[in-house]
Amino acid sequence: MTWIKLDDKLPNNPKILQLSDKAFRRYIEGLCYANQYLTDGFLADVVIDRLGTEVTQELLKAGLWLEADGGIQIHDYCEHQTTRKEVDSKRKQTRDRVTRYRQKSNADVTLPETETETETENIKQIQDSFDEFWEIYPRKAGKQEARKVFKRALANATLTDILAGAQRYASDPNREAQYTAHPATWLNQGRWADEPLPPRSPVGRFERVLEPARVPPRMQAEDTPIGVPMPDSVKRLLGRMSELS
């Protein structure tokens, strides 16, 4: 889509001032038609008939339209409006720019046409290695995520180290089932190189230390305590009281 160019002084142009409203409308319609179909200002007779011939003489008299073979030529059209040659040139520049961009984009992205036998073998080897790891690891959770992380882990450690670490972790007597790491987490953290887990505390995190109840010793009949001997002063007092009675 292109645009016609109109000077903001056009309504006050002497040639325009003498036109009727209908003739002014036909003049603008003629500009739009020539611009849309890139005729460089030429309006064929069939176009004039469609726009209306009743104001043609008015526009010819004003010098805005000129008679031409087979139609009408808009006066000074190519001096003020975009010509077909200019439009074609701009469109070609746009097409060339898009073509260059697409060629560059395609050059930056290289997609393998076919998968080589070596690549296929490598994929199968990684799959087999993961299956071996999965068999050893003590917690079976998040297998798909673990498979992705396992492939990355092989870039940082050998398969032997990973499998050995997984075996140590699985057989560690201090590993608690409820605290066993997910396989993807274990691989992400490179825990195949971890030292053995520290010994578990005999007291759990939520347990209390209960001391054995202290039961007092049971007394036997022969262990019945003997009364405290009566003091001599009390004995003498009791003796005097008995004499007075």
Pick from 208, 183, 20, 39: nearest CA to 48: 39
Confidence (pTM):
0.42
Question: What is the per-residue pLDDT for 212?
Answer: 63
Question: What is the per-residue pLDDT for 120?
Answer: 78
Alpha-carbon distance of 17 to 181, in angstroms, equals 89
Question: What is the per-residue pLDDT for 28?
Answer: 94
Question: What is the per-residue pLDDT for 233?
Answer: 80
Alpha-carbon distance of 243 to 147, in angstroms, equals 111
pLDDT in tens, the chain (245 residues): 678 999 889 989 998 999 999 999 999 999 999 999 999 999 999 989 888 878 999 999 999 999 999 999 999 999 999 999 998 898 899 888 888 888 877 766 554 555 566 777 788 888 889 999 999 999 999 999 999 999 899 988 899 999 999 999 999 999 998 899 999 999 999 999 998 888 876 655 555 555 666 666 665 555 555 666 777 887 787 777 777 76
Question: What is the per-residue pLDDT for 66?
Answer: 95
Alpha-carbon distance of 139 to 171, in angstroms, equals 12
Question: What is the per-residue pLDDT for 203?
Answer: 52
Question: What is the per-residue pLDDT for 225?
Answer: 57
- Produce one character per residue of 109-129: b if its CB has 16 or more CB atoms within 10 Å, e if not: eeeeeeeeeeeeeeeeeeeeb
* Domain ranges for the chain: 1-109, 117-193
Question: What is the per-residue pLDDT for 187?
Answer: 94
Question: What is the per-residue pLDDT for 230?
Answer: 74
Question: What is the per-residue pLDDT for 191?
Answer: 92
Q: Answer left, alpha or beta for residue 175, where phi above 0 means left and psi between -120 and 50 means alpha.
A: beta
